[in-house]
Amino acid sequence: MSQEQVSIYIDGAARGNPGPAGAGIVLKENGKTVGEAYKYLGDTTNNVAEYSALISGLQEAIALGYKNARLHLDSELVAQQLKGDYRVKNNNIKPLFEKAVALINNFDRLQIVKIDRSDNKEADKLANKAINLSGLNRQIG
């Protein structure tokens, strides 16, 4: 079990809303990439794609034994919902939110950092790669 902090960069993308969607994650420890993955999600909304990326990123960090994480995401909605500032009203999002919270509870410490899209290019690239390859890639989650 690593005592180090992992930075989890996540992004979900949908072309159209809903439309073909993908999730991308990048895990970094001390600035060095320790894991990355992407997944084609089929046709769904951007918010579902964001939550799918979140869940996959948390699962990957847990699988690698991290208990201390900093979550970097560019979705204002997801960041505010996780912080408790916005309520989760959408019935399609509620189970994803609940799963994410259950995963977050596996960490001793988890910080949520809302970042600009320009600071999330690696995860965005992976999410779009998943859409471009339409599932013919390394699956996560």
> pLDDT for 120-133, tens place per residue?
999 999 999 999 98
The model's pTM? 0.92
Q: Give domain limits for the chain.
A: 2-133
pLDDT tens digits, one per residue of 59-111? 999 999 999 999 999 999 999 999 999 999 999 999 999 999 999 999 999 99
pLDDT reported for residue 1: 56
DSSP assigned state of 18:
S
Per CATH, domain 2-133 is 3.20.20.70: no
Contacts of 55 (CB under 8 A, 6+ apart): 96, 99, 100, 103, 141
Confidence of residue 2 (pLDDT cuts 50, 70, 90): low
